[in-house]
């Protein structure tokens, strides 16, 4: 069996309990060496064979998985954050299916959750934004035309940009072209949850100079939107004394949606 496991954003204790158990039981681990904290590998059995996929092609990864499966061994494929985001897991799964090798997934804490935690941020503040756009600038991987940052920017929803820390001047241009004001609050979060974590609050207009001043070109998320400054949001209906919820009768007797 192949277990696709989310390693979490970096901190050793931000892997799930299930993920940790799978790591402890694994006979073979293939980890994404560029971003997975190697400290997590201390959890593995002495006899566990460990591969760093940063040096491997998809074909080589599959070869290791196939060989392990033939020997009846358990493999953990350890991906950074949550494997469902920019994880390149589907292509592995499809090839495993072709070979009749069983697999399953264990989710992880994505870096976008760790970045919010680093800033004590709520992405969805009533009155400011109720949506989060998770996207990236186009790099070597193309982004469909209809999903360009400028197109999403039109919504002025909270935006979290992965894989874009090396493209801050281009990102700023796209955000401005899409309609964000230069003084829209933004933040760069570098290595969220790692010991070297750093948060740089700024604005859309100062994103590029902030990144340059701190030498940020990778392993960072860019967060854009009014929620970063959290001014003038509305309090939640759920905890409003006036409102009745499924669990609590409000001063105002009528049942209301929140």
Q: Which residues of this chain interact with ligand SAH, rule CB under 6 A?
A: 9-10, 35, 80-82, 85-87, 110-111, 114-115, 162-163, 189, 191-194, 218-221
Distance CA 73, CA 3 (A): 11
Between 45 and 218, name the residue whose CB sits nearer to ligand SAH: 218
| CA within 13 Å, CB half, 41 | 21
Between 113 and 178, name the residue whose CB sits nearer to ligand SAH: 113
Question: What minimum distance in Å lies between the beta carbon of 246 and ligand SAH?
Answer: 32
Tokens of 120: 């004590």
Tokens of 165: 């820390």
Tokens of 18: 């299930």
Between 218 and 248, name the residue whose CB sits nearer to ligand SAH: 218
203 neighbors 211 (Cβ within 8 angstroms): no
Distance CA 161, CA 127 (A): 22
Query: What 3-state class would DSSP assign to 113?
Result: helix
Question: What minimum distance in Å lies between the beta carbon of 161 and ligand SAH?
Answer: 7
Question: What minimum distance in Å lies between the beta carbon of 162 and ligand SAH?
Answer: 4
- Sheet strands side by side (includes 220-224): 132-136, 158-162, 220-224, 185-190, 198-203
Between 53 and 193, name the residue whose CB sits nearer to ligand SAH: 193
Question: What minimum distance in Å lies between the beta carbon of 78 and ligand SAH?
Answer: 11
Between 122 and 197, name the residue whose CB sits nearer to ligand SAH: 197
Rounded to the nearest angstrom, the gap between the alpha carbon of residue 250 and the centroid of all alpha carbons in its chain is 37
Question: What minimum distance in Å lies between the beta carbon of 240 and ligand SAH?
Answer: 33
Question: What minimum distance in Å lies between the beta carbon of 36 and ligand SAH?
Answer: 9
Closest residue to ligand SAH, based on beta-carbon distance:
81
Between 139 and 182, name the residue whose CB sits nearer to ligand SAH: 139
Distance CA 91, CA 155 (A): 31
The region, left, alpha or beta by phi > 0 then psi within -120 to 50, assigned to residue 12 is alpha
């Amino acid at each position: 069996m192949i277990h696709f496991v989310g390693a979490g954003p970096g901190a050793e204790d931000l892997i799930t309990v299930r993920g940790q158990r799978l790591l402890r039981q694994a006979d073979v681990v293939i980890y994404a060496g560029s971003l997975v904290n190697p400290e997590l590998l201390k959890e593995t059995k002495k006899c566990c064979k460990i591969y760093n996929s940063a040096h491997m092609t998809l074909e080589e990864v599959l070869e290791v998985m196939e060989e392990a499966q033939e020997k009846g061994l358990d493999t953990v494929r350890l991906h950074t954050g949550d494997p469902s985001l920019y994880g390149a897991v589907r292509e592995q799964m499809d090839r495993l299916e072709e070979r009749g090798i069983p697999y399953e997934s264990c989710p992880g804490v994505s870096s976008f959750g760790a970045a919010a935690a680093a800033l004590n941020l709520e992405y969805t503040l009533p009155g400011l934004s109720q949506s989060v756009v998770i996207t990236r600038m186009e790099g070597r991987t193309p982004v469909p035309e209809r999903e360009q940052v400028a197109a999403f920017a039109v919504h002025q929803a909270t935006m979290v940009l992965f894989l874009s820390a090396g493209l801050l001047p281009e990102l700023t241009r796209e955000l401005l072209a899409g309609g964000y004001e230069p003084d829209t609050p933004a933040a760069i979060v570098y290595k969220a949850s790692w010991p070297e974590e750093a948060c740089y609050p700024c604005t859309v207009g100062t994103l590029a100079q902030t990144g340059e001043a701190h030498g940020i070109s990778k392993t960072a998320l860019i967060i854009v939107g009014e929620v970063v400054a959290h001014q003038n949001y509305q309090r939640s209906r759920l905890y409003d004394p006036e409102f009745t919820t499924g669990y609590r009768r409000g001063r105002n007797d009528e049942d209301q949606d929140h």
